Amino acid sequence: MTDEHVDAIHEEANGPETKAQPGWKCDDMQSKIATVGVIVVGAALLEVGLIPGMIVGLAAAMAPKYAPKLADSMRPAFRSIVRGAYKFGRKAREAAAEAQEQVQDIVAEVHAESTQGPTTTPNA
C-alpha cells in the first residue's frame, strides 16, 4: 500500500475535514504555558543569559493584545503621577528660591561686615 492509497482510504472513512494538517495546533492555555515553561527551562540549562531576552520577546508578542487595555486602565494612575510630579516641581522651585534668598542674605551680611572693618572689643 502506498501513502496516497492510505490517505485516500482515511479520507473516505473520516471525511476530508479530519485529514491531518501539517504543523501544530495549540489552542488551550495549558499547552501554551507548558510549551513556554519547557523552552525557558531549556534556555536556563543552556545559558541563563537568554532568559531576559525571552521575557522581553514574550512581552513584545503580548503587547499588541494587552497594551490598549492596559493603557486605558493606567490613564488615571498616569494622570495622578504627572499631577504629583508637577506639584513636587513647584514645591522644589519654591524651596530653591527660599534657599537662594537665604544664601544671598548671608552673603550680604558677610559683605557688610567686611566693609566696616575690624571692630575692637574693649577688654575689661
pLDDT digits (tens, 9 = 90+) for 38-94: 877 887 777 777 778 877 887 888 778 877 887 788 888 888 989 999 999 899 999
* DSSP conformation class of 20: P
Dist. CA 2–CA 15, nearest whole Å: 19
Q: How far from the centroid of its chain's Cα atoms is residue 1's Cα?
A: 59
Q: Which amino acid is it at 87? A: K
- Residue with the larger pLDDT of the pair 27 and 112: 112
Dist. CA 104–CA 43, nearest whole Å: 62
Place of cell 572689643: 121
Domain ranges of the chain: 26-114
Q: Which amino acid is it at 13? A: A
Q: Has residue 28 got a pLDDT over 60? A: yes
Predicted confidence at residue 104, as pLDDT, reads 95
